């Protein structure tokens, strides 16, 4: 039987520089670990300036400890020329750090722009909802189904490196839904930090939809829920989480019940959907509305004048107008954020104003 030599060997566990070298010597081919593979995939998926910078930052941070180990080897005159690097000098590590600093500064500037945009959206009455979950759980498919959009959704890892945000119709409540990068197990800090601007879309949202592939084995689902929870809980500061159990079309009702008996304790506020077949979208929207930040209800009158009509037009932009009656004054039943209600109260408009 004809045998073939492997072109690359991939290890699930993280490998040290020495381990990479020794194993590659034995195998006679390139050896990488899980996180190097992730970086390779990220590099192929990155299409925007920001995503390319994030991938480069992650790669550089991963390279730093390896650079130190290689410098140590070369200084001891051991295996000089390892990986074709030749006379490896301390200056290489310094160069890495300088490049890291430049990228961090550019991403920080972009992050400030994002913070300003998020603050502006809140001021305009938008609630921010983020899709989160283990990679390949169907987040992008769900995104397309619930906002009637078309973003890339394929059966492959990390198709979403740059957050995509669209308006979400909740029957009057203004909300924005963001699709984000998928979680992976044992996320190293350098990878989390590199994609901070992307993950902030989750951490700084008003509500999180944690998407789960419910068709997988219960033990795998629990493992992935645990990974997602570990990534979220220390950072979201009490933000409500809805567990979206996706791909229910692949299970019988009895199978779904059996799965829930095992994973239910790890699935807060569960909603059952099939994003592919658009099953459960209305139920999901209802649950989203239920968990959004509370709005206040207020009944008041406006002068039936040009100024009153102008204010009424503004009210439609900022909240939900439940009732309008026109007479000597304009009677309004209204629901909105507390700050909008307080602004209305501060106007103290009378019929002659």
Same domain, 280 and 185: yes
pLDDT at 199 over 60: yes
CA distances from 80 to 1, 25, 76, 85, 95 (A): 38, 14, 9, 8, 20
The phi, psi pair for 103, rounded to 5°, reads -65, -40
Tell me if 91 is assigned to a ligand binding site. Answer: no
Assess whether 283 and 314 both reside in one domain.
Answer: no
Q: Between 256 and 193, name the one with better pLDDT.
A: 256
Together in a domain, 36 and 83: yes
For residue 80, give the CATH number of its domain: 3.40.50.11060
Q: Give pairs for 285-288: CB < 8 Å, separation 24+.
A: 285/146, 285/168, 285/169, 285/170, 285/171, 287/242, 288/129, 288/168, 288/170, 288/175, 288/207, 288/209, 288/242
Residue numbers of the domain that contains 323 = 296-349
Is residue 224's pLDDT more than 60?
yes
Both 284 and 317 in one domain: the answer is no
Residue 203 lies in a domain: yes
pLDDT at 205 over 80: yes
- Do 273 and 145 lie in a common domain? yes
85 has pLDDT over 50: no
Question: Residue 1 domain-assigned?
Answer: no
247 is in an annotated binding site: yes
Q: In this structure, are residues 161 and 52 in contact, taking their beta carbons and an 8 Å threshold?
A: no
Residue 276 assigned to a binding site: yes
Per-residue pLDDT reduced to its tens digit, 125-170: 678 898 888 777 888 889 989 987 554 444 444 444 456 788 888 8
Q: CA 70 to CA 73: how far, in whole Å?
A: 5
- Ligand-binding annotation for 160, yes or no, is yes
- If asked whether residues 260 and 330 sit together in one domain, one would say no
179 is in an annotated binding site: yes
Kindly report which listed range (191-195, 250-254, 319-323) carries the lowest average pLDDT score.
191-195
Whether residue 274 is annotated as binding a ligand: the answer is yes
279 and 146 share one domain: yes
Was 86 annotated as part of a binding site? no
Indicate if 234 and 325 belong to the same structural domain.
no
The residue assigned the tokens 């190097």 is 36
> Is 182 known to sit in a ligand binding site?
yes
Within 13 A of 286's CA, how many CA atoms are on the CB side? 8
Q: Is residue 116 part of a domain?
A: no
Q: Are residues 82 and 228 in the same domain?
A: no
Residue 346: per-residue pLDDT: 84
């Amino acid at each position: 039987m004809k045998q073939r030599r492997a072109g690359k060997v991939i290890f699930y566990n993280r490998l040290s520089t020495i381990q990479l070298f020794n194993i590659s010597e034995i195998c006679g081919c390139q050896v990488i670990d899980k996180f190097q593979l992730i970086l390779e995939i990220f590099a192929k998926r990155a299409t925007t300036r920001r995503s390319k910078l994030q991938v480069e930052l992650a790669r550089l941070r991963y390279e730093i400890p390896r650079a130190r180990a290689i410098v140590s080897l070369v200084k001891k005159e051991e295996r000089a020329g390892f990986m074709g690097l030749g006379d490896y000098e301390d200056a290489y590590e310094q160069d890495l750090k300088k490049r890291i600093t430049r990228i961090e500064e550019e991403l920080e500037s972009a992050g400030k722009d994002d913070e300003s945009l998020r603050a502006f959206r809140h001021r305009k009455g938008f609630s921010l909802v983020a899709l989160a979950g283990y990679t390949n759980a169907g987040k992008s498919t769900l995104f397309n189904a619930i906002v009637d959009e078309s973003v890339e959704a394929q059966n492959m890892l990390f198709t979403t490196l740059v957050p995509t945000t669209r308006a979400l119709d909740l029957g009057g409540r203004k909300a924005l839904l963001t699709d984000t990068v998928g979680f992976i197990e044992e996320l190293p800090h350098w990878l989390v930090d590199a994609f901070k601007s992307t993950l902030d879309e989750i951490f700084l949202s008003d509500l999180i939809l944690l998407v789960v592939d419910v068709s997988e084995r219960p033990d795998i689902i629990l493992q992935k829920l645990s990974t997602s929870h570990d990534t979220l809980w220390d950072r979201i500061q009490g933000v409500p989480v809805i567990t979206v159990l996706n791909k229910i079309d692949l299970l019988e009702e009895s199978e779904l019940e059996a799965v829930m008996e095992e994973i239910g304790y790890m699935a807060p506020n569960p909603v059952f959907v099939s994003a592919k077949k658009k099953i459960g979208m209305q139920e999901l929207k209802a649950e989203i509305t239920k968990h959004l930040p509370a709005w206040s209800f207020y009944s008041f009158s406006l002068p039936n004048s040009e100024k009153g009509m102008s204010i009424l037009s503004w009210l439609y932009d900022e909240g939900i107008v439940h009732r309008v009656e026109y007479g000597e004054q304009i009677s309004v039943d209204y629901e909105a954020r507390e700050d909008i209600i307080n602004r209305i109260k501060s106007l103290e408009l009378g019929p002659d104003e």
